[in-house]
Amino acid sequence: MQQENNTNKSSKSKNKNPQNGISYLWNNGFVEIKLLIFKAFLVVLLGVIIAFITYTAAFIPEGQSKARLFIIFVIILFLYLLASNNYYKNLINTVEKIIANLRLLVMNQVRQAELLSFEKIGSDKIYTALTFDIKSVSDVSHSIAFGIIAIFVIINTMAYIAFLSWQAFLIIFCILFIAGVLYIKNQQQIKKMVFIVREYEKKMFEALMQLLYGFKDLKLNDKKNDDFFFNGLKQYSSKLHQLKFLCSKQFINNYSSSYCSWNVLIIVVVLILPILSLISLNKLVTIVGIVLFMPFVFLIEQIPKITIASISLQRLLDLEYELSQLNRDTQKTIHLDNDFIFKKIKYKDITFVYTEENEHEFKIGPLSISFMAGETVFITGGNGSGKSTLLKLMTGLYLIHSGRIYINDKEIDIQRYRFLFSAIFRDYHLFDRFYGSAEINDQKVNDLIKLMQLEHKVKFANNRFSSNNLSTGQRKRLALIMSIVENKPKNDQGLI
C-alpha cells in the first residue's frame, strides 16, 4: 500500500499565505466590525454635538436663559458616555473573541498535525506564537479602540475645516498627505526590523530552553557552564539588545518626523494662511484651535503598538496556514467493533525516506517483520541506526514511504489504526488525568498504583492524579499505569 511521502506534504507549507491580518479580522468579525464602526462614528458625532453646544453657549447674550441648552447638554453627555462605554467594551470583546478563535484554530491544527510535520515546524515556534504573539495582539485592543475614534475625529474636523475654507483644507490635506506617505514608507522599514527582532527573540528563547533543560549538565562542568553563558546566552542577549535598540530608534525617528510635520502644519496655518489672505481672522482662530486639538500625536503613538501586533497576528496566521497545508491529507481514525481481538501485526517491505535541512537523506528499509499477540520483542542497534524512527513507523506516527501493513492478515492504513498502540517514548509526556476514556475505575487505578509501589506518592480520584511531582522512574511507572488502564483492544489471550 503506497502512502504519500511527508516530504511532499511539507513542501506545501512553502506556499504563501493568501490571508493577511486585516482580511482575517474583517472576514472573522464582519458583522461586529461594521457595528463597531457605526458605534465609533456615533461616539464622535455625539462628541461633535457636545463641542457645538459648548461653542453655542459662549455666544448666548447675557441675561438670556441657558437652561434649555444645559438640559440638552446633559442628555447628549449622558448618551456620549453610554455610547463610548458600550463601544470600548464591544471592541475589546470582539478583538478578544477573534483572538480566542484563532488560538483554538491554531491549537486544533497542531493536535491534528503529523509528528514529522510537527517536528519540522518546531515546538519553540508554536509555543512562541501561542504565548508571546497572542499576548501582543491581545494587548493592542485598547490602542485599536482609541485609534478608530481618533481617525473619525480627524475626518470630522477636516470636513469642518473644508466647510470653513476649502483653501485651508487643501493646504492642510497636502501637508498631511505628504507626512502620511513618508510615515508609511518609514513604517515599512520598521516592520522589516521588527520581523528580524522577533526571529532573534525566538533564538534567544531556544537558548533559554537549553539553559533550563541542560541545567544538570551545566552544573557538572563549570567551564562548559561559563562558556555557554558568555559565548551563548550573553551574546544572544547582547545582539537582541542591539536589534531592539535599532528598532526603537527607528520608531522614535518616525515619531519625531511626524511630530515635526504636525508643527509645520501649525506654522503654515498660523503664518502662511494670513500672509496669503486666504482666510478671515475669526476663521483662522477657529482652524488653529481645531488643528491644535486634532489627535494626530495620539494616533501616531498608537501606530507602533499596532504595527508590532499586526506582525504577531501575521505570524499566527502564517503558522495556522502552514499547519493547515500539512494537515490537508490527515486520515480519520476508524472505530472497531467491541469484539475485535488483536492477534497479529505484519509489516511488509516498508520504507521510510527523510531529507534533512542539509539535504542529507536518511532511509530505513525495505523491512519486513511481524509481531504476534503476547510476544515480547527487543529492538537493538547503535546510535542513529533508526530504532526510534522504526518504532514511530510501526505505530503510525511517521508515515511509510512504501510498503504494506496488515493486522490479523488484513491490509490496513496504519495512520487510521494508531489508537491500537500505547507507547512510552523517551520524551513522553505525563498527563494529570485520563483523556479520551469515558469511564475510569478509581479503585482499579489505585490498585495499580499500589502494585507499582507509588501509593505513598500519588492517589487517583475524580479522574485526576493528586500529583505528578515524581522522580523519573516513578513517572515512568505512572505512565505505564495509564497505558494499562487505557481502553486498548484485547489480544487473543484476553490481556489488555
- Would you tell me how many other CB atoms lie within 10 Å of the CB of residue 158? 16
Mean pLDDT of the chain: 80
Q: Phi and psi dihedrals of 438, rounded to 5?
A: -70, -50
The three-state secondary structure class of 338 is coil
What band does 11 get if pLDDT is binned at 50, 70 and 90? very low
List phi, psi (to 5°) of 410.
Answer: -115, 125
Q: Average pLDDT, stretch 52-58?
A: 75
Q: Which domains does the chain have, with CATH numbers?
A: 6-326 (1.20.1560.10), 341-420 (3.40.50.300), 422-496 (no CATH)
Condensed to tens digits (0 to 9), the pLDDT of residues 438-462 reads 677 778 888 888 888 888 888 888 7
Using pLDDT thresholds of 50, 70 and 90, give the confidence band for residue 7: very low
Per residue in 471-485, pLDDT (tens digit) is 888 888 888 888 888
Please compute the mean of the pLDDT values over residues 304-332 and round it to a whole number.
78
Task: Find where cell 516498508 sits.
Answer: 350
Quote the percentage of the chain above a pLDDT of 90. Answer: 1
- Each residue's pLDDT tens digit, 256-295: 888 888 888 888 888 877 777 777 777 778 788 888 878 8
Percent above pLDDT 70 for the chain: 87
Mark out the alpha helices in 221-295 (DSSP H runs). Answer: 222-228, 234-267, 273-276, 281-293
pLDDT at 9: 41
pTM: 0.69
Give the confidence band of 5 by pLDDT, cuts at 50, 70, 90. Answer: very low
Q: For residue range 233-260, what is the model confidence (pLDDT) as tens digits?
A: 888 888 888 888 888 888 888 888 888 8
Which one has a higher pLDDT value, 413 or 491?
413
Of 115, 67, 467, 140, nearest in space to 310 by CA:
140
Angle formed by the axes of helices 442-451 and 472-485, nearest 10°: 140
Closest CA to 182 of 259, 293, 102, 91: 259
* Coil, strand or helix at 8: helix
Residue 6: what pLDDT? 44
DSSP state of 420: G
Residue that is written with C-alpha cell 498504583 in the block: 449
**CA pair distance 288, 307, nearest whole angstrom:** 30
Half-sphere exposure of 397 (CA within 13 A, CB side): 15
Q: Is the model's pLDDT at 223 over the cut of 50?
A: yes
Buried b (16+ CB within 10 A) or exposed e, 182-205: ebeebbeebeebbeebbebbbeeb
- pLDDT band of residue 75 (cuts 50, 70, 90) is very high
Examine the pLDDT at 37 and tell me if it is beyond 70: yes
Q: Considering only residues 282 and 65, tell me which one the structure prediction assigns the higher pLDDT.
A: 282
At residue 78 the predicted structure's pLDDT band, cuts being 50, 70 and 90, is very high
Q: Look at strands 464-465 and 341-342 and give their pairing.
A: unpaired
> What would the pLDDT profile of 157-207 be if each residue is shown by its tens digit?
888 888 888 888 888 888 888 888 888 888 888 888 888 888 888 788 888
The three-class DSSP label of residue 373 is coil
Higher pLDDT, 337 or 146: 146
Q: What is the pLDDT of residues 197-222, one digit of tens each?
A: 888 887 888 888 888 888 888 888 88
What is the distance of C-alpha 158 from the center of its chain?
38
Rounded CA gap, 459 and 443, in Å?
10
Burial class (CB in 10 A: 0-12, 13-18, 19+), 453: exposed
